[in-house]
Amino acid sequence: MTQGAGGRNFQVLNPPNLLKSKVGTGGFEMGAVKRAEKVVESLRGEFEEIAKGEVVKLVAAATALLAAPSDIKKRQEVYMIAHELRGQGGSYGYPLVTRFGDQLCRYLDATDSLDAKSLIIVKAAADAIAVVINAKVAGDGGDTGRHLVGMLDKALAMAKGEA
């Protein structure tokens, strides 16, 4: 044991690097990452199909939340669908899905109780994700993407009292 600056004890351990002893030291071979990228590309269609189903559930849950803002189950459903979509969209060339999903999750994280104004944001974010998926708005989405980004950013700024 060693004594740290605060007088507390700690022990430093350097276990043998078993992983390195198995895989060696030369880094990834040239083709390894490219092959993995091809796997991602091959799963893009599957993601698009799954995401279409998920946005139907997302918009339905967000709409249901409008009618019952204190329904914790619906709120969690909205959060979890948005969370999964934000975690996957960017992998398949849909960074706007990740952006809007992230904005929705962070908004819900920061908002205790949902009022009429905040529900509009939840619905707007869900609708924006649905547009991106259903219209296959890939990459930055050009004019459509800019319009959606501007719309949601403005709604969030208004909710914060910044606009």
Partner 1 sequence: MPYQLNKVRVLVLEDNGHMRKLMRGMLEAMGVREVVDSTDGAAAYQAIKQNPVDFALVDWEIYPVSGLEFMRKVRTASDSPNPFLPIIMVTGHTERARVTQARDLGVTEFLAKPISAQSLAQRIEELVDRPRPYIRTKDYFGPCRRRKRGGIFIGKERRAQA
- Taking contact as CB under 8 A, which single stretch among the options 89-97, 111-119, 128-136, 148-156 is the one that binds partner 1? 89-97
Diameter of the chain measured on Cα atoms: 61
The size of the interface with partner 1 (CB under 8 A), counted in residues, is 52
Residue 58 near residue 78 (C-beta atoms within 8 A): yes
Looking only at residues 47 through 86 of this chain, which bind partner 1 when binding is defined by CB under 8 A?
47, 50, 83-84, 86
Closest separation in Å from C-beta 102 to partner 1: 8
Residue 32 touching partner 1 (CB under 8 A):
yes
Buried b (16+ CB within 10 A) or exposed e, 125-160: bbbbbbbbbeeebbeebeeebeebbeebeebbeebe
Closest separation in Å from C-beta 82 to partner 1: 10
CB atoms within 10 A of CB 75: 21
3-state secondary structure of 161: coil
Closest separation in Å from C-beta 91 to partner 1: 4
Task: Give residues in contact with partner 1 (CB under 8 A).
Answer: 4-15, 17-20, 22-29, 32-40, 42-43, 46-47, 50, 83-84, 86-92, 98, 102, 105-106, 109
